[in-house]
Structure 1
């Protein structure tokens, strides 16, 4: 428990001049979650404005309120008391201070953890899960925070966002300390960085995977998107860096981060690079495993991986680099690598005798879809099918690009619904079709809006030597149509129809 005036230096001039300094039992951003003694944080969010719920939070038992200022006045001028002597403090740019406030409240738990932050357009989930899994295999208690949830790998709680709120992030890290966890791998989204959710964390390592077209509905343009990612490496508390040197942005950032570890799958390090490095010598790709021969500043070795695709070679080496700079022995990491499991919904392979091979993946950006299709092509002896759609009420500018990628790298295309949300599905499909360029394409393209029917159709029509990529939803167990969230699992549908089709053929 903490007194209000201990939470943040900006409050001292206001609180110290008044007699009331309540004891606080917790911090809440959602007025519905407020319990007796909580500090309610009232900020303007993406969908609603917490300042309209101050009275409700007080009725629920809030002991104090910190609110975003209405008109950028100073905190001292806007400090006031509620009628029942509940302090309400107004602060300019409150969201920018929440990470630090929550850090103070929870005693900055990140200082006592091996915390690795991973950012980039694609690969965050895979890299964080590889990190936590690798450390667990070496006998240490580890956890992840990200798209698939928060917690230890065998006991994760679902999360609404890739990166939690500033308050929840500190709260969860504090619980990890209580649970004796020593290593945490955290996905850090561009939204989380631009909204200052992780500003007061202390990262042992920051990892950059790649940067390509995504979230422009939020950031506006690629430059703003890039700068949000750069905050992790330029403005926050980070001790060491691991950078993907194969990415053009990563290569540029290495120039400003000479102490970083450069990771490349091409053996072509930047000409100016004098720092530590990891480089691929040779890779052998098979449908159910990948063997990576590599060299590095720590020595060389062979990683026997169950993960598929060239991009996963990069993900593996980025995770390896982060653990090496933390002092984990190379020999132990290499020895344990064969036990690393594929991540759910990431290049997840399903097969049945005499039936097409099906791969479910989360790829939902043009670059991710391109990399997945290129990787799958080397395993495919028949036709390569691609089933995909694009999310509604989100970045429209990437839809045509994804259509173009599907047309270029797949043999047969089925366009279906992803999460149309409140947008008209046909409008989304029209945007995709603009990139596909139907009139100029000789490839077979079908539109089946119902995703269940699309998957059923492609499984029934594909041959045994074909490979089907079902892309966009990956691990997700739902589909958002209108304002309704209904149950949907690409994996469950695939399992159902592979089994039905197989038994029907006997």
Structure 2
């Protein structure tokens, strides 16, 4: 975890300039930022935010006991600081939205010293950010990476709790990457992060949209609110480039709406609403057992991609990365060479198996759209029957469970429903929700234990078949209740295949 402290300290009044007023007598030196009282250390500024269930101010005593030098708090109904405190306690309206600016100042504006790129969308964020970080990483010009796979320099990531960390951790990570010599950084921007202003304060050079379909409606409540969160990324101050999937209706509409001050580049497979000098398109797409082959038309000439990645949607993901590289003025031949060398992200259309065995693919697809795309893509690589092993996470959008079933029924030949991460819900209840989406009489196997489900599918599949293990991708644990049990789809698949003769 990056160091979240500064020596010898940052004057509180300078840190809060144009954000909040504080008497000159309260100008203490701030040595660190924290928004969890249990993390407070001597000299820290404790940031007390209004949360959905509680308020950070309720933990003020613990923060002070641990040595917090000052407190900023977000006014909310039913909460107030003590009348007398031993340290400055300053109210800041809209603190959640302003925290990014505070963190950016405290850590010395790290994103200004790098090319900062953010990728958003329902599906494809992890793959596109992984592809771009690979392509931009070079000796002496490293690339940072922040997302589902972890935080750090490309190839040396540490596990992160969230796809996009909170504003303090985000700017601390950017400062760490800058100190390590990163010339660029690529981050995933989740809808939660955008709605909660976690990226505010980042000097963003480029924003990329992969697509927009149903997800996280348990949090956003409506598709319009979900779309509004994604749209925030493209209204970031100082944004120079936008790279948009114009095959997606939301992306096409956004392309038409962005101001001329933003250099907008579209990418896709279908016809583009943007002129040729602002589009990257794929033609003559061919799927093989070993990957995808296609031609590209770009504003800077034609080219050919021969990729080891599976799936037509990875054509779209590769186009996003290529369009971004060209927008950043990488020479076309160099950009194409990097795209051709791209390796897949862990748990994203990750292929297992050798000749004489079924092709087994581990993928993170956990939305109806992603499952549809994965199965549709794999059908092109499948000479036999297409298998789908999937479940749904507990304590998440329950409305998508029958939709996942419908996607599997429509696109797979053989289906096994199993546990994903049940969390605090009954696994039987989750599977019952899923089963409501299948047609009456559809043959579906239900196998509670995920290892058994994977082994059953691989054991029954034949050479020429394709088996999709969907939902958990790169994850290394299965969450049951509050327990995190070690579990890896990839390791389970590899072990089962090792025991099966080719």
TM range (shorter): over 0.9
Cα distance in 1, alignment partners of residues 140 and 331 from structure 2: 13
1:41 deviates by 0.8
Residue 272 of structure 2 corresponds to 269
Q: Which runs of 5+ in 2 are unaligned?
A: 1-8
Deviations 1:28-62 (A, max 9, x none): 11211111111111113356532211110110111
For residues 302-313 of structure 1, the aligned pairs below 5 Å read: 302-313=304-315
Q: CA deviation at 1:224?
A: 0.4
User: Contact 1:82 / 1:88 at 8 angstroms: preserved in 2?
Assistant: no
Gap regions ≥5 residues in structure 1: none
Partners in 1 of 2:483 and 2:376 — Cα distance?
Answer: 35
Distance 1:47 1:375 in 2: 41
Change in 2 beyond 3 A, CA 1:79/1:218: closer
Query: What's the CA shift for 1:292?
Result: 2.1
Q: What corresponds to 2:28 in structure 1?
A: 22
User: Aligned partners of 2:437 and 2:277: how far apart in 1?
Assistant: 42
1:155 Cα deviation from its structure 2 partner? 1.0
Q: Residue 110 of structure 1: SS of its match in structure 2?
A: helix
In structure 2, the residue corresponding to 1:341 is in which secondary structure? coil
Asked if 2 retains the 8 angstrom alpha-carbon contact of 1:289 and 1:305, the reply is yes
SS of the equivalent of 1:435 reads coil
Relative to structure 1, is the Cα distance of residues 350 and 162 closer, same or farther in structure 2, using a 3 angstrom cutoff?
same
Note the 1:329-408 alignment, pairs <5 A. Answer: 329-408=331-410
Number of aligned residues: 491
Between 1:369-378 and 1:331-340, the stretch displaced more is 331-340
1:396-425 Cα distance to aligned partner (Å, 9 max, x none):
111111100000100010001111111111
- TM-score (norm. length: structure 1): 0.93
1:284 positional shift: 2.1
Partner of 1:43: 49
Kept in 1: contact 2:421–2:480 (CA 8 A): yes
Alpha carbons of 1:167 and 1:415: their partners in 2 closer, same or farther (altered >3 Å)?
same
TM superposition shift of 1:352: 3.5
Q: Deviations over 1:173-228 (max 9, x none)?
A: 11111111111111000000000001211111110100000000000010000010
Q: 1:299 to 1:491 in 2, by over 3 A?
A: same
The answer as to 2:65 corresponding to 1:59 is yes
Q: Compute the displacement of 1:140 (Å).
A: 2.7
* Aligned match of 2:4: none
CA distance in 1, matches of 2:432, 2:166: 35
Kept in 2, the 8 Å contact 1:352–1:498? The answer is: no
Deviation at 1:9, TM superposition (A): 2.8
What is the aligned partner in structure 1 of residue 21 from structure 2?
A: 13
**1:45-81 Cα deviation digits (max 9, x unpaired):** 35653221111011011111111213399xxxx7877
Change in 2 beyond 3 A, CA 1:64/1:362: same
Distance 2:81 2:444 in 1: 62
Structure-2 separation of matches of 1:176 and 1:324: 24
Deviates more, 1:273-282 or 1:105-114: 273-282
Q: Is the 8 A contact 1:199 1:236 kept in 2?
A: no
Q: Residue 280 of structure 2 aligns to a residue in which SS?
A: strand
Structure 1 residue 109 displacement after superposition: 1.1
Question: Secondary structure in 1 aligned to 2:26?
Answer: coil
115 and 235 in structure 1: CA distance in 2 versus 1, 3 angstrom threshold: closer
Q: Where does residue 172 of structure 1 map in the other structure? A: 173
Do 1:415 and 1:448's aligned partners in 2 also have CA atoms closer than 8 Å? yes
The 5 Å alignment of 1:249-288 reads 249-257=250-258, 259-266=263-270, 268-270=271-273, 273=275, 276-288=278-290
Q: Quick check: 1:182 aligned with 2:183?
A: yes
What is the alpha-carbon distance in structure 1 between the residues aligned to residue 110 and residue 83 of structure 2? 32
Give the secondary structure class of the aligned counterpart of 1:251.
helix
CA distance in 2, matches of 1:89, 1:81: 12
**Bigger mean CA offset, 299-308 vs 217-226:** 299-308
CA contact (8 A) 1:81 1:88 kept: no
Alpha-carbon distance in 1 for matches of 2:276, 2:302: 18
